[in-house]
Amino acid sequence: MDWEDSFTLQDDLPWPSNPPAFKETMMEYRRELKKLAEKLLGVMEELLGLEEGRIRKVFTNDGDLEAFYGTKVSHYPPCPRPELVDGLRAHTDAGGLILLFQDDRVGGLQVLPHGGDGRRWVDVQPVENAIVVNTGDQIEVITNGSYKSAWHRILATRDGNRRSIASFYNPARMATIAPAIPDTSGNGAAAAYPSFKFGDYMEVYVKQKFQAKEPRFAALATK
């Protein structure tokens, strides 16, 4: 159970009609965030030595499909017993890039740093007008582990109403996901990441979202 209320926005789904300016404002916001997501993918490609547009090509099967783009609007109300429940349980995100506009007054977002002791959660301090960038499981696969998907959670709090807007730039469901750069470990071990359809991964993810991600990758390797 999570101490969260939320709804999802997509261009082809019904939108709230109240307040009247909500749809116009959010559609403009979503357009700008989508541009930012695609720009960030380009930066990743450059840093990894990939050809320009390579990750987007993976997301869209070389342009034959449309990348998924959705926005989740969340509300975390005050919780009378925060020691018993999380606002949102610890997990990694399934998809590609996640751009989060979080509440700048009420905190609660925590991440588990990669390379740390694996037990110490770190607060992501609210910063006014900032966008928090998170990478999902598909970016980890495509970059062959160069960019890890981040474990994160939302703490429930007794005081304050926390709100956030998370925009997800993901592969198309029928996109084929596989490492786009070679393994540089040199240990000769079997590939850590298999090739799979994103839709098949989502079928596993919805059942194991709050569990370790490695078994999800392993499950796709056997298909």
- Quick one: pLDDT at residue 160? 87
User: pLDDT per residue over 152-183, tens digit each?
Assistant: 999 999 988 999 999 999 999 999 999 998 76
Peptide bond between residue 19 and the one before it cis (omega within 30 degrees of 0)? yes
Q: Which of 76, 69, 71 is nearest to 126 (CA)?
A: 76
pLDDT in tens, 86-98: 999 999 999 999 9
What is the pLDDT, as a whole number, of residue 221?
Answer: 86
**DSSP for 46-109?**
HHHTPPTTHHHHHHHTTTTS--EEEEEEEEE---S-GGG-EEEEEE--SSSEEEEEE-SS---E
To the nearest whole percent, how much of the chain has pLDDT over 90?
83
Q: Domains in the chain, please, with CATH? A: 5-221 (2.60.120.330)
Give percent of the chain with pLDDT exceeding 70.
93
Cβ 202 vs Cβ 173: under 8 Å: yes
Q: Give this prediction's pTM.
A: 0.92
